[in-house]
Amino acid sequence: DAKTTQPNSMESNEEEPVHLPCNHSTISGTDYIHWYRQLPSQGPEYVIHGLTSNVNNRMASLAIAEDRKSSTLILHRATLRDAAVYYCILRDRMTDRDDKIIFGKGTRLHILP
Amino acid sequence: KAGVTQTPRYLIKTRGQQVTLSCSPISGHRSVSWYQQTPGQGLQFLFEYFSETQRNKGNFPGRFSGRQFSNSRSEMNVSTLELGDSALYLCASSGDRGSYEQYFGPGTRLTVT
């Protein structure tokens, strides 16, 4: 399985944008990039996913490098409620026609008031 | 629409006992997956059920088993509990296998003494 590398932790100030990086140098052409986050005392929740083009939704934006070897999850205006562990995950949509998610260690995001 | 529910939320068992955890997926969802989360190993995939059949299994001993009923509700069972089985057990559901988005429940916190 293609692996992802994320910083262990990051800090950001409230109401400022946050850029969470993810490296995936061995990504294959059919790997989608997914992001999930886990708030304290909750199960993970889906944030966003993409293949090649940048993606936006109500929660965040996903910026994907042209060579797809890295991506960045962007929270446009962080709030204290965004403090969570963020997981960057690769899923091969051609072969992974199942619901098995391989989670890494993720990035623990701290938001400073 | 109600989210994924898991019962019980907390459980304390002693070594050697067995335990059954329950998961009710979102109405209409047919795929249910189970994960174990510990501080040391993080989130690890246990198994996935779809249409009452186990479709995928993680790297766990045979003491861990599960099943899915015709109404898509799922149970997982751990026999001969060990101290290392203390963990947060999370259930996730999706509308169909391979869906981009999975919905996680709040988990069952199992403590083995």
**Per residue in A46-87, pLDDT tens?**
999 999 999 999 999 999 999 999 999 999 999 999 999 999
| The pLDDT value given to residue B2 | 80
* Whole-number average pLDDT of chain B: 94
Nearest CB partner across the interface for A102, out of B45, B101, B105: B45
| CB contact A92 to B (< 8 Å) | no
CB contact under 8 A, A99 and B4: no
Residues of B in contact with A97 (CB under 8 A): 97-98
Q: CB of B33 within 8 Å of any CB in chain A? A: yes
Per-residue pLDDT tens digits for B28-80:
999 999 999 999 889 999 999 999 999 889 999 999 999 999 999 999 999 99
Question: Is B66 in the A-facing interface, judged by CB distances under 8 Å?
Answer: no
* Three-class SS state of B84: helix
For residue A87, list chain B residues with Cβ-Cβ distance below 8 A: 43
Q: What angle do CA A47, A75, A65 make, to 5 degrees?
A: 80
Cis status of the peptide bond prior to A17, with omega within 30 of 0: no
For residue B97, what is the nearest residue in chain A, using CA coordinates?
A98
For residue range A1-37, what is the model confidence (pLDDT) as tens digits?
568 999 999 999 999 999 999 999 999 888 899 999 9
d(CA B2, CA B22): 16
Give the tens place of pLDDT for each residue, A80-113: 999 999 999 998 866 556 667 888 899 999 999 9
Q: Do A99 and B33 touch (CB under 8 A)?
A: yes
CA distance B59 to B42: 14
Contacts of A46 in chain B (CB under 8 A): 100-103
Name the residue type at position A7.
P
Nearest C-alpha of chain A: how many angstroms from B70?
19
Answer yes or no: do A93 and B105 touch at CB < 8 A.
no
Residue A45: strand pairing partners: A37, B103
